[in-house]
Amino acid sequence: MAKDILVEIGLEELPARFVDDAEEQLFQKTQTWLEEQRIAYETITSFSTPRRLAVLVSGAAESQESIREEVKGPAEKIAQDENGDWTKAAIGFSKGQGKTVDDIYTKDVKGTSYIFVEKQVIGKDTQELLPAFKEIIESISFPKNMRWADQSLRYARPVRWIAALFGDEVIPFEVAGVHTGNDTYGHRFLGDKITIETPAHYAGALEKQFVIANPQKRQRLIAEGLKSLESQHGFHIPEDEELLQEVRNLVEYPTVFTGSFDPAYLTLPEDVLITSMKEHQRYFPVKDTNNELLPYFVSVRNGDDHGIETVKKGNEKVLRARLSDAQFFFEEDQKQSIDYYLNKLERIVFQEKLGTISDKVARVRTITEQLSGWLGLSGKQHADAIRAAEICKFDLPTNMVNEFTNLQGTIGETYARNAGETQEVAKAIAEHYLPVQADGPLPQTLEGAMVSLADKLDTIVGCIDAGLIPSGSHDPYGLRRQAIGLLRILHDRNWDISVESLLELAQSLYLDTGIEQADQEKAKQELDQFFKQRAAYLLREVTAGQDIIQAVLYDDIGVIPYTMAKAKELSNQRNNPEFTTVQEALVRTLNLAGKTNRYDIDPAMFQTPSEQQLYDALQESREAFQQANEQQNAHQALQQLGRLAQPIHAFFDHNMVMSDDAALRDNRLALINHIAALIRSYADLSVIEWKQQFV
């Protein structure tokens, strides 16, 4: 007979961002545990609110599945003596498994014969196994943990109660001094203590006490409430899935309501208003049909609609104070010049080993100036890019950014425009922080892309030069994200600038700073490896296999748009039967290269026409290949290498490369080395798993 299992962990309120991951962990760990314990079940359902994590297993078997198990014993030569009789080792082995020597049989394992017995493992009662569920609870991890009282368990918040049932029986165990029972608790203010009669009644019992345990249901109710308000008032609430998910994890019983604020505050920049509402109060902003912000907001109460007008007025009062502060900061900030804030940057430390923000800005300006030269900019574009680099961080000491940190760059754009800077300069200040996430939107302006790249390059090279290398999940400066962003900008802009030239430029700026740095050569190796790992990530995004990635990153990363084009080209040719002849010739050449370090070719030593033909083909293809390479035409460059295939096959068919004549052998190997160097300047084709070989 099957029974249901319920385990609920009652907690002090969890941070909203912790809830979903913790619920997923509980679900996955429960599923894994049931499978490992061989306990059959019908379904698993997980629940979560700010105050609880729970899992319901429906139709769990009352005992483990019994299995037949094959047990390996000692080798046959040890299990039997020279007369073929069973030794003490064999007798002891069979007895230990509850069997006799009559149950022994032999099997070959990797060329050696071993003795085996087969036995039946009778499943234990599920009730007997369930107390071990405490290990699942204790194993749930959180981004930040705490200890409380005299408990050794580190958890996001203190555990206040644990409900654990198998059918109508309590599963006995304790976690952090809290013993299991069959009680849970409703809404903190509206609900009461509940005795759970059976696991299947869990969600329904809670809902009667103003707790909706299913997070998807809470989100659906909030979304429906937003739609209802839109219809009722004729305004528009922009979709915000991230905020919707966060709000659902802040409440146990959602009630949606709307409030208003003084229309005079609409003179503030829209981003300031939205940040005040969304980031600080978790309100949904409201717009009209023309996408213009309206003096309203929508919030979600954790409870029913009793006294909702009082709640509304309280929220309006809180928002009014926020907006009043924002207006004061906005007006006060603009009483000072951009130069005033730039001077303040000299007293703000970027990183103790890397100097001040002002030092960083100076390096960003230098990198931007070099980029401008490489890109051939002049006139207004050059001037705007340099000016944007010079003032890209000026808003950091402002009151507004101090209060609303996520407005850095955004408020800088507004202040710069109000101070008379050009549209391009102002926009670049906001865009130089992009992408905020690794896969987020990129800068849309040239100036913004240049300053963004320069800023990220300086941060990454400076931190790694100073030995601040990310490890595991520890990456306080977001170097991985910034490196991916840098590479994406290079690719998006199709800039003919190698990653290595950028790293060399940034490293050179730190040489004379007097800042304590790690060993330069070691730092260079760390940087190369760090960026290759990020480049590999991007290449996987274009469906390049690991072998293709290894091939194109054989030496340098180079110009990232070209490197990605080569990866796509090789991926396309991997399964092309018509490319087989080319691939075999080029790979054979690579496999034979390096047998000598000679590169001097003496055509006078050629003994067969095929040698001269290959030499001539190399001269002709090299020039065409290099031209295609310079034009970053991955398809044409590979085609030029392909023109060497027929001469290479003829060369190997008519010549003994490893001749007994040392001079002749070295001359032929030198020719091969030249061809191999040309191939590897494109990619190391020898590491690719050419699929057509296995067809």
Cα separation, 237 vs 297, in Å, equals 9
Axis-axis angle for helices 479-493, 560-573 (nearest 10) = 80
pLDDT in tens, 215-238: 999 999 999 999 999 999 999 999
pLDDT at 599: 83
- What mean pLDDT comes out for the span 124-152? 94
Structural fold of domain 348-541: Hypothetical protein af1432 (1.10.3210)
pLDDT at 264: 96
Instruction: Return the SS3 of 184.
Output: strand
Tokens 């991007």 belong to residue: 538
191-205, 444-458, 468-482: which has the minimum mean pLDDT? 468-482
- Residue type for position 203: A
- What mean pLDDT comes out for the span 257-278? 95
Cα separation, 10 vs 162, in Å, equals 6
Cα separation, 30 vs 395, in Å, equals 49
Cα separation, 369 vs 388, in Å, equals 11
Asked if residues 527 and 466 have their Cβ atoms less than 8 Å apart, the reply is no
pLDDT at 691: 67
Confidence of residue 685 (pLDDT cuts 50, 70, 90): very high
Nearest CA among 223, 242, 238, 331 for reference residue 293: 238
Cα separation, 414 vs 418, in Å, equals 6
DSSP assignment letter at 253:
S
Q: Is the pLDDT of residue 207 over 50?
A: yes
pLDDT at 695: 35
Confidence of residue 693 (pLDDT cuts 50, 70, 90): very low
Q: Given CATH 1.10.730, say whether it is the number of domain 563-694.
A: yes
Confidence of residue 516 (pLDDT cuts 50, 70, 90): low
| Domain boundaries defined on the chain | 3-63+126-208, 67-121, 215-333, 348-541, 563-694
Nearest CA among 529, 497, 558 for reference residue 368: 497
Q: Using a pLDDT cut of 70, give the percent of the chain over it.
A: 98
Q: Is the pLDDT of residue 692 over 60?
A: no
Cα separation, 126 vs 40, in Å, equals 10
- Residue type for position 648: I
pLDDT at 513: 64
**Between residues 317 and 576, the one the model is more confident about:** 317
Say if residue 589 is exposed, middle or buried (CB neighbours under 10 Å; 0-12, 13-18, 19+).
Answer: buried
- What mean pLDDT comes out for the span 66-90? 90
Q: Is the pLDDT of residue 81 over 80?
A: yes
Asked if residues 454 and 489 have their Cβ atoms less than 8 Å apart, the reply is no
pLDDT in tens, 156-205: 999 999 999 999 999 999 999 999 999 999 999 999 999 999 999 999 99
- For 632-655, the DSSP string reads T-HHHHHHHHHTTHHHHHHHHHH-
CATH architecture of 3-63+126-208: 2-Layer Sandwich (3.30)
Strand 112-121 to strand 67-75: parallel, antiparallel, or no bridges (unpaired)?
Answer: antiparallel
pLDDT at 27: 98
pLDDT at 278: 92
Cα separation, 136 vs 138, in Å, equals 5
pLDDT at 598: 80
Confidence of residue 360 (pLDDT cuts 50, 70, 90): very high
pLDDT at 520: 73
pLDDT in tens, 300-315: 999 999 999 999 999 9
Distances (CA, A) of 316 to 215, 255, 310, 311: 27, 16, 10, 9
Cα separation, 8 vs 27, in Å, equals 12
Confidence of residue 496 (pLDDT cuts 50, 70, 90): very high
pLDDT at 75: 93
Confidence of residue 597 (pLDDT cuts 50, 70, 90): confident
Sheet holding 112-121, edge to edge: 67-75, 112-121, 105-109
Q: Is the pLDDT of residue 517 over 70?
A: no
Same fold, 348-541 and 563-694: no
pLDDT at 471: 78
Q: Is the pLDDT of residue 37 over 90?
A: yes
pLDDT at 694: 39
Confidence of residue 518 (pLDDT cuts 50, 70, 90): low
Sheet holding 284-287, edge to edge: 254-260, 293-302, 284-287
Mean pLDDT for the chain? 93
Cα separation, 386 vs 581, in Å, equals 52
162-171, 201-210, 364-373, 686-695: which has the minimum mean pLDDT? 686-695
pLDDT in tens, 524-546: 888 999 999 999 999 988 777 89
Nearest CA among 175, 168, 225 for reference residue 196: 168
- What mean pLDDT comes out for the span 443-466? 95
Q: Which residues pair with 383 in a beta bridge?
A: none
DSSP assignment letter at 264:
G
534-540 long-range contacts, Cβ below 8 Å, gap at least 24?
Answer: 534/480, 534/483, 534/484, 534/487, 535/487, 535/499, 535/560, 535/563, 537/484, 538/484, 538/487, 538/488, 538/491, 538/564, 539/563, 539/564, 539/567
